Amino acid sequence: MTNSWPQIRGLSYSTIGRTLRATVHGEAGDSTIWFGPPDRWRVVGTDGTPRYIENETDEYRLREDGVAVHTSKSPNRMVATFGLSPTLLFRAHTLWPMPGPMAHPQVGAPGEPLEVSIRGRRGWQIEFADLRGGSPVTVVIDAETGVTLSWRQDDRWLEMSDPVLDEDFDPQLFVWDGPTVETEEQLESPEQLAHEQKMREVAAMPPTQFGWPPTEVHVSALDGDPLSGALESTATVSSIQVGVRRWLTEVGEPEVSFMLDHWPSLRRRVIGPWAVELRAFSAITDEDSDRILSSLILPDPPVSPEAVRERAASREAELREAAVVEQLGTGRKLDDHLGGDGGASLLIRTDFSDDELWRTVVGEATAPNDDGYGNQFSANLLCIDDPNNSGMTVDQLLTRMGDGPPFYAFIADSRTLTDPEHPILAVDNERAEWGDGRGRTVRIIPREMWGIENNLSISNMDFREFADSADDDGVFRGFPPSPPVVTIMERDDLIALSASNLSTPALVRFAEDLAELERAHAVIHEVSRKGLHDGVVQLEDSENEIRDGVDEYLAASSRDGICHWGFVQILAGHWSLVIEPASGRLEAAMLRKYSPPSSD
For 218, 384, 388, 451, 590, the CA distances from 508, given in Å and listed in that order, are: 86, 59, 66, 41, 11
Answer whether residue 258 shows pLDDT above 90: no
Check if the beta carbon of residue 520 is closer than 8 Å to that of residue 572: no
Q: Which residues pair with 265 in a beta bridge?
A: 279
Q: Could you give phi then psi for residue 463, rounded to 5 degrees? A: -55, -40
Nearest residue to 149 via CA among 244, 4, 15, 341:
15
Segment 517-542 shows an average pLDDT of: 89
Cα(323)–Cα(332) distance, rounded to whole angstroms? 15
More confident residue, 541 or 62: 62
Which one-letter amino acid corresponds to residue 261? D
Per DSSP, helices labelled H in 351-411 are: 355-366, 394-401
Check if the beta carbon of residue 245 is closer than 8 Å to that of residue 277: yes
Q: Tell me what pLDDT residue 101 has.
A: 58
Q: Could you give phi then psi for residue 303, rounded to 5 degrees? A: -145, 175
Check if the beta carbon of residue 267 is closer than 8 Å to that of residue 274: no
Helix, strand, coil distribution of the chain in percent, nearest 5:
25, 35, 40
- Percentage of residues of the chain with pLDDT beyond 70: 93
Q: Which tens digit of pLDDT belongs to each residue from 336-366?
A: 888 866 678 999 999 999 999 999 999 999 9
Segment 550-567 shows an average pLDDT of: 94
Burial of 345 (C-beta count, 10 Å sphere; 0-12/13-18/19+): buried
Q: Which tens digit of pLDDT belongs to each residue from 106-140?
A: 888 899 999 999 999 999 999 998 877 778 999 99
Whether the model clears a pTM of 0.85, i.e. scores above it, the answer is no
Cα(160)–Cα(22) distance, rounded to whole angstroms? 7
- Average pLDDT of the chain is 88
Segment 218-247 shows an average pLDDT of: 81
Q: Is the dihedral of CA 514, 520, 524, 530 positive or negative?
A: negative
Segment 206-210 shows an average pLDDT of: 90
- Dihedral through CA 160, CA 161, CA 167, CA 168, nearest 10? -70
Q: Tell me what pLDDT residue 347 has.
A: 96
Q: Which tens digit of pLDDT belongs to each residue from 60-113?
A: 998 887 888 888 876 544 444 445 789 999 999 888 887 665 667 888 889 999
Q: Tell me what pLDDT residue 408 has.
A: 92
Residue 186: pLDDT band with limits 50, 70, 90: low
Burial of 343 (C-beta count, 10 Å sphere; 0-12/13-18/19+): exposed
